[in-house]
Amino acid sequence: MTTTVAAYAAPSAKAPLERTTIERREVREFDVLIDIKFAGICHSDIHQAREGWGEAMFPMVPGHEIAGVVEAVGPGVTKFAVGDHVGVGCLVDSCRECENCEAGLEQYCLKGGVGTYNALDKNGEPTYGGYSQKIVVDEAFTVRIPDGLALDVAAPLLCAGITTYSPLKHWNAGPGKKVAILGFGGLGHMGVKIANALGAEVTVLSQSLRKKDDGLKLGAQHYYATSDEATFKELRGTFDLILSTVSAPLNLDSYLSLLKTDGAFVNVGAPEEPVALNLFSVIMGRKTLAGSGIGGIQETQEMLDFCAEHGLGSEIELISASEINEAYERVLASDVRYRFVIDAATI
Ligand code: NAP
Ligand code: ZN
Ligand code: ZN
Protein backbone atom coordinates (compact mmCIF):
# COMPACT_ATOMS: atom_id res chain seq x y z
CA MET A 1 0.00 0.00 0.00
CA THR A 2 1.33 3.41 -0.91
CA THR A 3 1.05 6.34 1.51
CA THR A 4 -0.28 9.74 0.47
CA VAL A 5 1.82 12.60 1.85
CA ALA A 6 1.78 16.38 1.44
CA ALA A 7 4.58 17.94 -0.58
CA TYR A 8 5.61 21.13 -2.36
CA ALA A 9 6.03 20.68 -6.09
CA ALA A 10 6.85 22.73 -9.16
CA PRO A 11 4.09 21.84 -11.66
CA SER A 12 6.27 23.09 -14.55
CA ALA A 13 9.51 24.98 -15.12
CA LYS A 14 7.72 28.30 -15.39
CA ALA A 15 5.43 27.94 -12.36
CA PRO A 16 6.07 28.59 -8.67
CA LEU A 17 6.08 25.65 -6.26
CA GLU A 18 2.74 24.84 -4.66
CA ARG A 19 1.33 22.46 -2.09
CA THR A 20 0.18 19.10 -3.44
CA THR A 21 0.16 15.43 -2.46
CA ILE A 22 2.33 12.57 -3.69
CA GLU A 23 2.36 8.81 -3.16
CA ARG A 24 5.22 7.16 -1.30
CA ARG A 25 5.87 3.51 -2.07
CA GLU A 26 5.15 0.77 0.45
CA VAL A 27 8.03 -0.10 2.77
CA ARG A 28 9.90 -2.95 1.10
CA GLU A 29 12.33 -5.43 2.65
CA PHE A 30 15.32 -3.09 2.90
CA ASP A 31 13.43 0.22 3.08
CA VAL A 32 13.31 2.86 5.75
CA LEU A 33 10.25 5.12 6.08
CA ILE A 34 11.49 8.52 7.21
CA ASP A 35 9.36 11.16 8.88
CA ILE A 36 11.03 14.23 7.37
CA LYS A 37 11.70 17.00 9.88
CA PHE A 38 13.82 19.41 7.81
CA ALA A 39 14.83 19.86 4.18
CA GLY A 40 17.49 22.27 2.94
CA ILE A 41 17.15 24.35 -0.21
CA CYS A 42 20.15 23.81 -2.48
CA HIS A 43 20.82 26.02 -5.49
CA SER A 44 20.66 22.79 -7.52
CA ASP A 45 16.96 22.58 -6.64
CA ILE A 46 16.46 25.89 -8.42
CA HIS A 47 18.61 24.98 -11.44
CA GLN A 48 16.48 21.86 -11.88
CA ALA A 49 13.02 23.24 -11.02
CA ARG A 50 13.57 25.95 -13.66
CA GLU A 51 15.13 23.60 -16.20
CA GLY A 52 18.38 25.56 -16.13
CA TRP A 53 20.31 22.32 -16.63
CA GLY A 54 18.00 21.06 -19.36
CA GLU A 55 14.74 19.20 -19.62
CA ALA A 56 13.34 18.03 -16.29
CA MET A 57 10.47 15.88 -14.97
CA PHE A 58 7.29 17.50 -13.65
CA PRO A 59 5.64 17.75 -11.27
CA MET A 60 8.96 18.08 -9.40
CA VAL A 61 9.31 17.83 -5.63
CA PRO A 62 12.86 19.09 -5.06
CA GLY A 63 14.95 18.56 -1.96
CA HIS A 64 18.08 16.46 -1.44
CA GLU A 65 19.13 17.69 1.97
CA ILE A 66 16.82 15.60 4.09
CA ALA A 67 16.92 15.06 7.86
CA GLY A 68 14.31 13.11 9.74
CA VAL A 69 13.39 10.30 12.09
CA VAL A 70 12.85 6.66 11.18
CA GLU A 71 9.16 5.83 11.43
CA ALA A 72 9.19 2.24 10.15
CA VAL A 73 11.66 -0.25 8.71
CA GLY A 74 11.32 -3.21 6.36
CA PRO A 75 12.00 -6.75 7.68
CA GLY A 76 15.47 -6.92 6.13
CA VAL A 77 16.75 -3.62 7.55
CA THR A 78 19.73 -4.03 9.88
CA LYS A 79 21.33 -0.56 10.03
CA PHE A 80 18.39 1.43 11.41
CA ALA A 81 15.57 1.19 13.93
CA VAL A 82 12.44 3.22 14.58
CA GLY A 83 13.34 6.54 16.21
CA ASP A 84 16.83 6.84 14.70
CA HIS A 85 17.93 10.20 13.31
CA VAL A 86 18.76 9.79 9.64
CA GLY A 87 19.56 11.72 6.50
CA VAL A 88 19.22 11.33 2.76
CA GLY A 89 21.24 13.27 0.21
CA CYS A 90 21.24 13.49 -3.57
CA LEU A 91 21.09 9.75 -4.33
CA VAL A 92 18.51 7.11 -3.44
CA ASP A 93 19.93 4.22 -5.48
CA SER A 94 22.63 3.17 -7.93
CA CYS A 95 23.52 0.00 -9.83
CA ARG A 96 25.59 -1.15 -6.80
CA GLU A 97 27.86 -3.33 -8.92
CA CYS A 98 29.91 -1.17 -11.29
CA GLU A 99 33.52 -0.30 -10.56
CA ASN A 100 32.57 3.07 -9.05
CA CYS A 101 29.74 1.73 -6.88
CA GLU A 102 32.10 -0.97 -5.60
CA ALA A 103 34.62 1.75 -4.72
CA GLY A 104 32.03 3.73 -2.74
CA LEU A 105 31.71 6.32 -5.50
CA GLU A 106 27.99 5.79 -6.09
CA GLN A 107 27.72 9.41 -7.26
CA TYR A 108 29.69 8.38 -10.34
CA CYS A 109 27.76 5.14 -10.92
CA LEU A 110 28.59 4.07 -14.47
CA LYS A 111 24.93 3.21 -15.04
CA GLY A 112 23.79 6.59 -13.79
CA GLY A 113 22.43 6.11 -10.28
CA VAL A 114 19.01 7.31 -9.14
CA GLY A 115 18.64 10.93 -8.02
CA THR A 116 16.49 11.74 -4.99
CA TYR A 117 14.18 13.70 -7.30
CA ASN A 118 13.87 14.55 -10.97
CA ALA A 119 14.77 10.94 -11.78
CA LEU A 120 13.21 7.54 -12.41
CA ASP A 121 13.86 4.68 -10.01
CA LYS A 122 14.68 1.12 -11.11
CA ASN A 123 10.97 0.42 -11.59
CA GLY A 124 10.56 3.45 -13.82
CA GLU A 125 8.67 5.41 -11.15
CA PRO A 126 9.51 9.12 -10.70
CA THR A 127 11.41 10.01 -7.53
CA TYR A 128 10.27 12.89 -5.32
CA GLY A 129 12.54 14.76 -2.93
CA GLY A 130 12.59 16.26 0.52
CA TYR A 131 10.05 19.08 0.30
CA SER A 132 7.55 16.55 1.62
CA GLN A 133 6.39 15.01 4.88
CA LYS A 134 7.82 11.52 4.43
CA ILE A 135 10.12 9.56 2.15
CA VAL A 136 10.86 5.84 1.67
CA VAL A 137 14.52 5.05 0.95
CA ASP A 138 16.60 1.87 0.84
CA GLU A 139 18.78 1.63 3.94
CA ALA A 140 21.87 1.44 1.74
CA PHE A 141 21.26 5.07 0.73
CA THR A 142 20.29 6.29 4.19
CA VAL A 143 22.89 7.72 6.58
CA ARG A 144 22.93 8.20 10.32
CA ILE A 145 22.84 11.70 11.80
CA PRO A 146 24.98 11.56 14.94
CA ASP A 147 23.42 12.59 18.25
CA GLY A 148 25.61 15.67 18.52
CA LEU A 149 24.02 17.30 15.46
CA ALA A 150 20.58 18.91 15.61
CA LEU A 151 18.45 17.83 12.66
CA ASP A 152 17.81 21.36 11.34
CA VAL A 153 21.48 22.31 11.04
CA ALA A 154 22.39 18.80 9.88
CA ALA A 155 20.03 18.79 6.88
CA PRO A 156 22.24 20.99 4.64
CA LEU A 157 25.22 18.73 5.31
CA LEU A 158 23.58 16.07 3.13
CA CYS A 159 24.51 18.07 0.04
CA ALA A 160 26.38 21.27 0.93
CA GLY A 161 28.46 19.41 3.53
CA ILE A 162 29.48 16.41 1.49
CA THR A 163 30.00 18.38 -1.73
CA THR A 164 32.66 20.47 -0.03
CA TYR A 165 34.07 17.81 2.33
CA SER A 166 34.77 15.30 -0.45
CA PRO A 167 37.01 17.51 -2.63
CA LEU A 168 38.68 19.16 0.37
CA LYS A 169 39.73 15.70 1.56
CA HIS A 170 40.60 14.44 -1.91
CA TRP A 171 42.86 17.42 -2.63
CA ASN A 172 44.42 17.24 0.85
CA ALA A 173 43.23 20.47 2.42
CA GLY A 174 44.97 20.50 5.77
CA PRO A 175 47.80 22.02 7.81
CA GLY A 176 50.24 24.04 5.73
CA LYS A 177 47.79 24.36 2.81
CA LYS A 178 46.36 27.64 1.58
CA VAL A 179 42.79 27.03 0.51
CA ALA A 180 40.42 29.53 -1.08
CA ILE A 181 36.68 29.03 -1.02
CA LEU A 182 35.17 30.89 -3.95
CA GLY A 183 31.52 31.92 -3.40
CA PHE A 184 30.24 32.24 0.14
CA GLY A 185 26.73 30.79 0.02
CA GLY A 186 25.29 27.43 1.05
CA LEU A 187 28.19 25.29 -0.14
CA GLY A 188 30.77 28.00 0.42
CA HIS A 189 30.07 28.53 4.11
CA MET A 190 30.33 24.78 4.75
CA GLY A 191 33.54 24.73 2.72
CA VAL A 192 34.97 27.40 5.03
CA LYS A 193 33.98 25.52 8.19
CA ILE A 194 35.26 22.17 6.97
CA ALA A 195 38.53 23.45 5.47
CA ASN A 196 39.22 25.27 8.74
CA ALA A 197 38.44 22.15 10.78
CA LEU A 198 40.83 20.19 8.53
CA GLY A 199 43.56 22.63 9.52
CA ALA A 200 44.00 24.61 6.30
CA GLU A 201 44.56 28.37 6.08
CA VAL A 202 41.28 29.54 4.60
CA THR A 203 40.52 32.53 2.40
CA VAL A 204 37.05 33.48 1.18
CA LEU A 205 36.75 34.97 -2.29
CA SER A 206 33.34 36.60 -2.49
CA GLN A 207 31.83 39.14 -4.87
CA SER A 208 31.92 41.80 -2.15
CA LEU A 209 33.00 42.31 1.46
CA ARG A 210 29.34 42.34 2.60
CA LYS A 211 29.64 39.01 4.46
CA LYS A 212 33.25 39.44 5.66
CA ASP A 213 32.43 39.39 9.38
CA ASP A 214 30.57 36.11 9.00
CA GLY A 215 33.38 34.59 6.95
CA LEU A 216 35.99 35.39 9.58
CA LYS A 217 33.71 34.14 12.33
CA LEU A 218 32.98 30.84 10.58
CA GLY A 219 36.61 29.91 10.07
CA ALA A 220 38.29 31.97 7.35
CA GLN A 221 41.51 33.80 8.12
CA HIS A 222 41.23 36.11 5.09
CA TYR A 223 38.40 37.54 3.02
CA TYR A 224 38.66 39.28 -0.34
CA ALA A 225 36.24 40.82 -2.82
CA THR A 226 36.52 39.53 -6.38
CA SER A 227 34.89 42.72 -7.66
CA ASP A 228 38.12 44.51 -6.69
CA GLU A 229 40.84 44.16 -9.36
CA ALA A 230 43.50 44.60 -6.68
CA THR A 231 42.52 41.22 -5.21
CA PHE A 232 43.86 39.45 -8.29
CA LYS A 233 47.18 41.32 -8.17
CA GLU A 234 47.65 40.78 -4.46
CA LEU A 235 46.74 37.07 -4.44
CA ARG A 236 48.52 36.01 -7.62
CA GLY A 237 50.21 32.60 -7.10
CA THR A 238 48.90 32.19 -3.55
CA PHE A 239 46.74 29.08 -3.26
CA ASP A 240 47.34 25.34 -3.19
CA LEU A 241 43.65 24.77 -3.74
CA ILE A 242 40.68 26.87 -4.86
CA LEU A 243 37.26 25.32 -4.38
CA SER A 244 34.68 27.11 -6.49
CA THR A 245 31.08 26.94 -5.35
CA VAL A 246 29.90 29.65 -7.71
CA SER A 247 26.57 29.00 -9.43
CA ALA A 248 27.26 31.31 -12.40
CA PRO A 249 29.89 31.24 -15.19
CA LEU A 250 33.31 32.58 -14.14
CA ASN A 251 36.41 33.98 -15.77
CA LEU A 252 38.48 30.86 -15.06
CA ASP A 253 41.72 32.34 -16.35
CA SER A 254 41.83 35.02 -13.70
CA TYR A 255 41.14 32.51 -10.90
CA LEU A 256 43.73 30.05 -12.20
CA SER A 257 46.29 32.85 -11.90
CA LEU A 258 45.74 32.78 -8.12
CA LEU A 259 47.10 29.21 -7.85
CA LYS A 260 50.64 28.26 -6.93
CA THR A 261 52.59 26.01 -9.28
CA ASP A 262 50.91 22.57 -9.10
CA GLY A 263 47.86 24.10 -7.46
CA ALA A 264 44.35 22.87 -8.21
CA PHE A 265 41.17 24.73 -9.05
CA VAL A 266 38.30 22.39 -8.19
CA ASN A 267 34.87 23.28 -9.36
CA VAL A 268 31.71 22.15 -7.63
CA GLY A 269 29.52 25.06 -8.75
CA ALA A 270 27.29 23.99 -11.63
CA PRO A 271 26.43 27.02 -13.80
CA GLU A 272 23.84 26.70 -16.52
CA GLU A 273 26.14 27.93 -19.31
CA PRO A 274 29.57 26.70 -20.47
CA VAL A 275 32.69 28.68 -19.61
CA ALA A 276 35.68 29.60 -21.76
CA LEU A 277 39.28 28.77 -20.90
CA ASN A 278 42.66 29.82 -22.24
CA LEU A 279 44.67 26.60 -21.86
CA PHE A 280 47.83 28.56 -21.12
CA SER A 281 46.21 29.26 -17.77
CA VAL A 282 46.88 25.63 -16.80
CA ILE A 283 49.99 25.02 -18.89
CA MET A 284 51.99 27.70 -17.13
CA GLY A 285 52.44 26.40 -13.59
CA ARG A 286 51.35 22.79 -14.24
CA LYS A 287 47.97 23.56 -12.76
CA THR A 288 45.01 21.27 -12.35
CA LEU A 289 41.48 22.20 -13.30
CA ALA A 290 39.10 19.63 -11.86
CA GLY A 291 35.54 19.05 -10.77
CA SER A 292 33.81 17.06 -8.06
CA GLY A 293 30.28 15.80 -7.53
CA ILE A 294 28.69 15.33 -4.08
CA GLY A 295 30.21 12.22 -2.44
CA GLY A 296 29.56 8.50 -1.95
CA ILE A 297 27.37 7.09 0.80
CA GLN A 298 30.22 5.94 3.03
CA GLU A 299 31.98 9.26 2.66
CA THR A 300 28.73 11.08 3.48
CA GLN A 301 28.59 9.15 6.74
CA GLU A 302 32.25 9.98 7.39
CA MET A 303 31.47 13.68 6.78
CA LEU A 304 28.53 13.64 9.20
CA ASP A 305 30.69 12.00 11.87
CA PHE A 306 33.44 14.57 11.22
CA CYS A 307 30.97 17.46 11.48
CA ALA A 308 29.52 16.09 14.72
CA GLU A 309 33.00 15.64 16.17
CA HIS A 310 33.95 19.22 15.28
CA GLY A 311 30.57 20.74 16.15
CA LEU A 312 29.94 21.86 12.57
CA GLY A 313 26.35 22.43 11.55
CA SER A 314 25.08 24.71 8.82
CA GLU A 315 24.12 28.34 9.46
CA ILE A 316 20.46 28.26 8.61
CA GLU A 317 17.41 30.39 8.12
CA LEU A 318 14.43 28.23 9.02
CA ILE A 319 11.39 28.90 6.84
CA SER A 320 7.90 27.54 6.48
CA ALA A 321 6.99 25.76 3.26
CA SER A 322 4.87 28.68 2.06
CA GLU A 323 8.08 30.76 1.86
CA ILE A 324 9.89 28.45 -0.59
CA ASN A 325 9.32 30.59 -3.68
CA GLU A 326 10.52 33.72 -1.91
CA ALA A 327 13.57 31.82 -0.64
CA TYR A 328 14.38 30.79 -4.24
CA GLU A 329 14.48 34.44 -5.27
CA ARG A 330 16.76 35.27 -2.38
CA VAL A 331 19.15 32.42 -3.26
CA LEU A 332 19.27 33.70 -6.83
CA ALA A 333 20.15 37.16 -5.50
CA SER A 334 23.02 35.69 -3.34
CA ASP A 335 20.96 36.82 -0.34
CA VAL A 336 21.13 33.74 1.85
CA ARG A 337 22.82 33.34 5.23
CA TYR A 338 23.63 30.64 4.61
CA ARG A 339 21.08 27.94 3.90
CA PHE A 340 17.30 28.07 3.83
CA VAL A 341 15.87 25.06 5.61
CA ILE A 342 12.20 24.14 5.36
CA ASP A 343 10.44 23.12 8.55
CA ALA A 344 8.64 20.03 7.23
CA ALA A 345 5.94 20.42 9.88
CA THR A 346 4.66 23.38 7.82
CA ILE A 347 4.19 21.32 4.63
P1 NAP B 1 24.33 29.53 -3.30
O2 NAP B 1 23.98 29.38 -1.87
O3 NAP B 1 23.48 30.36 -4.18
O4 NAP B 1 25.85 30.00 -3.36
C5 NAP B 1 26.46 30.33 -4.59
C6 NAP B 1 27.39 31.51 -4.34
O7 NAP B 1 28.03 31.80 -5.58
C8 NAP B 1 26.69 32.80 -3.95
O9 NAP B 1 26.46 32.91 -2.60
C10 NAP B 1 27.68 33.84 -4.42
O11 NAP B 1 28.69 33.98 -3.44
C12 NAP B 1 28.33 33.19 -5.64
N13 NAP B 1 27.76 33.74 -6.88
C14 NAP B 1 26.49 33.66 -7.32
N15 NAP B 1 26.35 34.28 -8.50
C16 NAP B 1 27.58 34.77 -8.82
C17 NAP B 1 28.09 35.48 -9.92
N18 NAP B 1 27.30 35.86 -10.94
N19 NAP B 1 29.40 35.79 -9.92
C20 NAP B 1 30.20 35.42 -8.90
N21 NAP B 1 29.77 34.73 -7.83
C22 NAP B 1 28.47 34.42 -7.79
O23 NAP B 1 24.33 28.10 -4.02
P24 NAP B 1 24.80 26.67 -3.44
O25 NAP B 1 23.60 25.94 -3.02
O26 NAP B 1 25.94 26.86 -2.54
O27 NAP B 1 25.28 25.97 -4.79
C28 NAP B 1 26.35 26.53 -5.53
C29 NAP B 1 26.52 25.84 -6.85
O30 NAP B 1 26.97 24.50 -6.64
C31 NAP B 1 25.22 25.69 -7.65
O32 NAP B 1 25.50 25.86 -9.02
C33 NAP B 1 24.79 24.27 -7.37
O34 NAP B 1 23.96 23.73 -8.36
C35 NAP B 1 26.13 23.60 -7.33
N36 NAP B 1 26.15 22.32 -6.62
C37 NAP B 1 26.99 21.37 -7.12
C38 NAP B 1 27.12 20.17 -6.46
C39 NAP B 1 28.08 19.14 -6.96
O40 NAP B 1 27.93 17.99 -6.60
N41 NAP B 1 29.09 19.52 -7.72
C42 NAP B 1 26.36 19.93 -5.31
C43 NAP B 1 25.54 20.93 -4.83
C44 NAP B 1 25.44 22.13 -5.49
P45 NAP B 1 29.14 35.43 -2.92
O46 NAP B 1 27.88 36.09 -2.44
O47 NAP B 1 30.10 35.11 -1.84
O48 NAP B 1 29.77 36.11 -4.06
ZN1 ZN C 1 22.52 20.11 -3.60
ZN1 ZN D 1 27.09 1.68 -10.35
Domain end, chosen from 274, 291, 308, is at 291
Rounded (10°) angle between helices 186-197 and 297-310: 70
Residue 140 has phi, psi (to 5 degrees) of -70, -15
Q: Is 69:344 a contact under the CB 8 Å cutoff?
A: no
Domain containing 285 equals 161-291
Among protein residues, the one with the nearest Cα to ligand 1's atom 1 is: 185
The per-residue pLDDT for 277 is: 97
Cα–chain center distance at 17: 20
Quick check: pTM over 0.95? yes
Q: The domain spanning residue 115 has which CATH number?
A: 3.90.180.10
The per-residue pLDDT for 97 is: 98
Burial 129-167 (b: 16+ CB within 10 A, else e): bbbbbbbbbbbebbbbbeeebebbbbbbbbbbbbbbbbb
What is the average pLDDT score of the chain?
A: 98
Section 318-345 average pLDDT: 97
Domain count, the chain: 2
Same domain as 134, residue 189: no
Radius of gyration of the chain (CA): 20
- At 179, the pLDDT band (50, 70, 90 cuts) reads very high
Per-residue pLDDT reduced to its tens digit, 197-241 = 999 999 999 999 999 999 999 999 999 999 999 999 999 999 999
What are residue 151's DSSP bridge partners? none
pLDDT > 70 in the chain, percent: 100
> Best of 245, 294, 332 to mutate for ligand 1, by most ligand atoms within 8 A of CB?
245
Section 90-97 average pLDDT: 98
Q: Taking 90 as the threshold, does the pLDDT of residue 14 lie above it?
A: no
Dist CA 11 CA 33 (whole Å):
25
Torsion angle, alpha carbons of 70, 74, 75, 79, to 10: -50
Section 242-261 average pLDDT: 98
Secondary structure of 174-204 as H, E, C letters? CCCCEEEEECCCHHHHHHHHHHHHCCCEEEE
Per-residue pLDDT reduced to its tens digit, 152-168 = 999 999 999 999 999 99
Per-residue pLDDT reduced to its tens digit, 22-77 = 999 999 999 999 999 999 999 999 999 999 999 999 999 999 999 999 999 999 99
Same domain as 165, residue 28: no
Same domain as 214, residue 136: no
Among all bound ligands, the one having the nearest atom to the CA of 100 is 3
Same domain as 179, residue 310: no
Q: Is 39:342 a contact under the CB 8 Å cutoff?
A: yes
Q: Taking 90 as the threshold, does the pLDDT of residue 113 lie above it?
A: yes
The per-residue pLDDT for 1 is: 85
The letter for the amino acid at 13 is A
Same domain as 203, residue 74: no
CA 78 – ligand 2 centroid, Å: 28
Per-residue pLDDT reduced to its tens digit, 274-321 = 999 999 999 999 999 999 999 999 999 999 999 999 999 999 999 999
- Pocket residues: Cβ below 6 A from ligand 1: 42-44, 47, 159, 163, 183-188, 206-207, 245-248, 268-270, 293-294, 331, 334, 336
The per-residue pLDDT for 129 is: 98
